[in-house]
Amino acid sequence: MTIRRGALSVIVGLTLVVVTLAVAGTAGVTAQERDRTPAEQRLAAVQTWFYYLSVDLDSDVLAQVIESDYDMVVIDPIVTERENADYDIAGTVRALQDSGKIVIAYMDIGQAEDYRTYWQDGWRIGDPEWIVGDDPDGWSGNYPVAFWWDEWRDIWLDPEDGLLQLLLDTGFDGIYMDWIEAYSDEYVVAMAEEDGVDPVQEMLWFVEDISTYTKAQREDFIVIAQNAAELAEYADYLVLIDGIAQESIWFDGAADGAEPEGDCPLPATEADVDTVAYRESLSAPCRALLESDPNSQLHTSSESYLAYLMMAHAQGEIILTVDYALQAENVAWVYATSRGLGFIPFVGVRNLDRFVPPFPAQQGTNG
């Protein structure tokens, strides 16, 4: 741990230089100088946030969240889960809002999930054709999709019974879009080649349609994109969203409830990726994760994420970070480091299925 922390301080300094040189002499603006939209103003005021994806939001957990000092919560909409279709999500959203919290709906826009209300009997990979493969990170029941197909888009954008309209009607303050990076999945790429489309451009258009649909009804509806930090290179993309949330910049864990739940440090720099020294610095469980999962974040460096995130932040984008750690020193280190960069951090367990109390906020760090 000592080695990667020392390296990270070098990363931050080098990245700041790179971003400064890239922005100098251009029309780029700082977060303080940029005119914020109503949605961005709401998000920029957030100091602490809570991320919880279990559809079993029992009364005890809900009470803990309501009584907490979190400014914002990201939760599963629950009612889109087949076994909880009768859940009073509107009542839950109101209760959280009445406690002073912004309430954001987590939605996977790049994968079909077989436990959702839209999933039909008999669906499987290849039937319908736009369900193209298994989740590369090992999450069961999740399947990457050819998201440019009309059938998938209608699930989201239909004005009568689409998922976006459900979020608006049940009172959510915004959407937290996962699997933006679907355009880079090997099965999605193969389908895009077959269909003769550019998957990156198709994702940009899909995000634009989501943002336009929701903000046409509520201009302060918050649109957050999780991961795909490299899209910060597209200025038009940054205009479509109100914030970027990036997972596992510094610490990761195993998917789908497996061990370890967190505290596995990423390589600090690109030069550290997959080296013997990095491997030997890991605990036995983290080393096993590295070796067993070629798609693990442990094969990616903190440096690579930070370069894109700081590029976006320099243009006024609000950045949230999500890291997976349980050890107190790791949790405190991530909060201090992320806030020091002007980001808004959350640290929890990889499965995002338990309450953690807010980590004390610092004032004036969001930029």
Number of neighbours of residue 258 by Cβ within 10 angstroms: 15
Residue 45 has pLDDT above 50, yes or no: yes
φ, ψ at 316 (rounded to 5°): 95, 0
- Residues 107-134: tens digit of each pLDDT: 999 999 999 999 999 999 999 999 999 9
Taking alpha carbons only, the member of 207, 179, 177, 181 closest to residue 106 is 177
Q: Could you tell me if 11 and 3 are in contact, meaning their C-beta atoms sit under 8 angstroms apart?
A: no
State how far the Cα of 247 lies from the Cα of 256, in Å rounded to an integer.
15
State how far the Cα of 179 lies from the Cα of 141, in Å rounded to an integer.
14
- Residues 225-236: tens digit of each pLDDT: 999 999 999 999
Residue 32 has pLDDT above 50, yes or no: no
Q: Which residue has the higher pLDDT, 44 or 2?
A: 44
Residue 6 has pLDDT above 50, yes or no: no
Lookup: tokens for 192: 């895009």
What is the mean predicted confidence (pLDDT) over 279-292? 96
State how far the Cα of 131 lies from the Cα of 149, in Å rounded to an integer.
10
Q: Which residue has the higher pLDDT, 198 or 30?
A: 198
pLDDT of residue 34: 63
What is the mean predicted confidence (pLDDT) over 246-252? 98
State how far the Cα of 31 lies from the Cα of 272, in Å rounded to an integer.
32
State how far the Cα of 313 lies from the Cα of 311, in Å rounded to an integer.
6
Residue 153 has pLDDT above 70, yes or no: yes
Tell me what percent of the residues of the chain surpass a pLDDT of 70: 89
Provide the residue ranges of all domains of the chain, joining segments of one domain with +: 2-23+34-348
Contacts of 311 (CB under 8 A, 6+ apart): 19, 22, 23, 232, 233
State how far the Cα of 324 lies from the Cα of 163, in Å rounded to an integer.
29
Q: Which residue has the higher pLDDT, 11 or 207?
A: 207
Handedness of CA 223, 144, 303, 2 (dihedral sign): positive
pLDDT band at 366; cut points 50, 70, 90: low
Residue 354 has pLDDT above 50, yes or no: yes
pLDDT of residue 139: 85
DSSP 8-class letter at 297? G
Give Cα 227 to chain centroid, integer Å.
5
Tell me the one-letter amino acid at 130. W
DSSP 8-class letter at 341? T
Span of 7-16, 84-93, 192-201 with lowest mean pLDDT: 7-16
Q: Could you tell me if 77 and 105 are in contact, meaning their C-beta atoms sit under 8 angstroms apart?
A: yes
Tell me what percent of the residues of the chain surpass a pLDDT of 90: 83
pLDDT of residue 31: 44
Q: What is the DSSP string of 176-240?
A: EEE-GGGGGSHHHHHHHHHHT--HHHHHHHHHHHHHHHHHHH-TT-EEEEES-GGGGG-HHHHHH
CATH architecture for residues 2-23+34-348: Alpha-Beta Barrel (3.20)
Alpha helices per DSSP H over 48-149: 59-67, 89-98
Tell me the one-letter amino acid at 160. E
State how far the Cα of 245 lies from the Cα of 104, in Å rounded to an integer.
13
pLDDT of residue 81: 95
Q: Which residue has the higher pLDDT, 164 or 257?
A: 164
State how far the Cα of 81 lies from the Cα of 140, in Å rounded to an integer.
15
Q: Could you tell me if 365 and 339 are in contact, meaning their C-beta atoms sit under 8 angstroms apart?
A: yes
pLDDT of residue 296: 87
Residue 203 has pLDDT above 80, yes or no: yes
DSSP 8-class letter at 357? P
